[in-house]
Chains A and B, each alone.
Chain A
């Protein structure tokens, strides 16, 4: 096994660990809605929510990096260049995340001055990490970029997937620099902040997961390179074509000019179209392989990715993307429902799929299957669907009572929060969150044991 692949294992293990932290913080955040006095004076809702959404970003990013460190030496046929630096960066990354989590839990608040932003909390959603930590993450991403580009140069080889991946590194690193400035004008601040949040999630990460899924498809189903690369180019073009200017749907109500209503609505309304193409592609792949593969969990999680992306991003997103509806729905649990479903479908399922692929290889199992992964698959997906369904009901109540009927007054806000539809939705969401957490436990158990219970492969290809 290459050193790069050993590093990939560490990244994937850390990703699954932080997935657990995200789930726990999510459960806590859900519980605050039904018991607002929970941990009063010790740990408030905003800290639990910050941990929930920040670890979401971290575990997915670590999962992507793990997947790429796994596939990179196989793709280019040599050990990853700068692997020692990459290993150091892994430990730095983990230390930084743990230190930031500790600061959030213990210190919680900084002042609204430079010292507060450098040392404690930057205060902007998803990029709350203090600047010292953000600088460390930039360093990790720069070393990651060096690993990819350096390996391609030393191997004197550039495949289509590698080409797309290397080009994608530029926005991946450059857009993160948006985590640093703090403008006094809130509209200007939000304008650039969305470049980071939206263009990472709906452009850069989409390309990254597209490359990872292309590599995984070749590994899992033996799909030819010509096919996956052709589809990668088409899907990346379509996703970027709709996703980049789809950024505008975040500019509707932050004080930007009115033309963003048309631009944002128009391009983001196109976003379900390429996702439908991906669903048809998934049906084709599943059918031509008769749902048979040596790694059923990886295959099913890959299918879940295609369907989850379409339903979470496409269906749930289209409900709220046109400006007239978004006026009432933005910032309610309706939006949270879309966010949960889209992240799960677009990214989380893909990372779990790659984890199963990697485990099959390192454990030398001819095939991996069993019952534990089915329980994990069912509980995680039903728990998630339950959460997004109940959040949707609560969001409907907010949009209806608070926004459309009450006109967004404080009294209307309180009425919506006290409405039975909202309150019951929050209880049901917590119950579904427990099912999701049970699914996480089953997933961890399965990842620890799968492949150990079946006969090893007759012969393994020799790897350095």
Chain B
């Protein structure tokens, strides 16, 4: 791995999870206050997360196994906030 590819890959992986956090926060805020803008922002973050995942798959010098893992976990990140929220509403 070249030096630049290393930094690019590390940063992309960090931003990938950070965007998942932004998606979760905005999804929660959107559900709490009922504002469409927040929910739209949440899905915009998720779309960006997908774009970052695509960049990792296309550009990062990772083994295929890890690329497949990133792609699969993108779907898991999509599901976590709605499932968690539904469960929170049910238990409260």
Contact = CB atoms under 8 A, between A and B. Distances in A.
B62 to A, nearest CB: 5
A269 interface: yes
Contacts of A314: 17, 21
Contacts of B88: 280-281, 284
A227 B73 contact: no
Nearest to B26: A283
Contact of A287 (B20, B28, B80): B28
B9 A280 contact: no
Contact of B17 (A318, A324, A325, A334): A318
Interface string A230-260: 1100000000000000000000000000000
Interface in B4-19: 4, 6-7, 9-11, 13-14, 16-18
B6 A315 contact: no
B58 interface: no
A311 interface: yes
Interface string B34-65: 00000000000000000000000000011101
Interface residues of A, number: 42
A320 B73 CA distance: 17
Interface residues of B, number: 39
B39 to A, nearest CB: 13
26 contacts: A227-B91, A270-B73, A272-B17, A273-B73, A273-B77, A276-B20, A276-B24, A276-B77, A279-B24, A280-B27, A280-B81, A280-B84, A281-B84, A311-B18, A315-B17, A316-B14, A320-B10, A322-B62, A324-B63, A324-B66, A325-B10, A396-B10, A400-B4, A400-B6, A403-B6, A404-B3
B36 to A, nearest CB: 17
Nearest to A316: B14
A405 interface: yes
The 7 A-B pairs at the shortest CB distance, nearest first, are namely A283-B28, A287-B32, A404-B3, A319-B14, A400-B3, A280-B84, A318-B17
Interface of B: 1-4, 6-7, 9-11, 13-14, 16-18, 20-21, 24-25, 27-29, 32-33, 61-63, 65-66, 69, 73, 76-77, 80-81, 84-85, 88, 91-92
A325 B9 contact: yes
A400 B28 contact: no
A399 B5 CA distance: 11
A385 interface: no
B16 A277 contact: no
Nearest to B69: A269
A266 interface: yes
Contact of B3 (A310, A318, A405): A405
B5 to A, nearest CB: 8
B91 A325 contact: no
A327 B1 CA distance: 10
A288 interface: yes
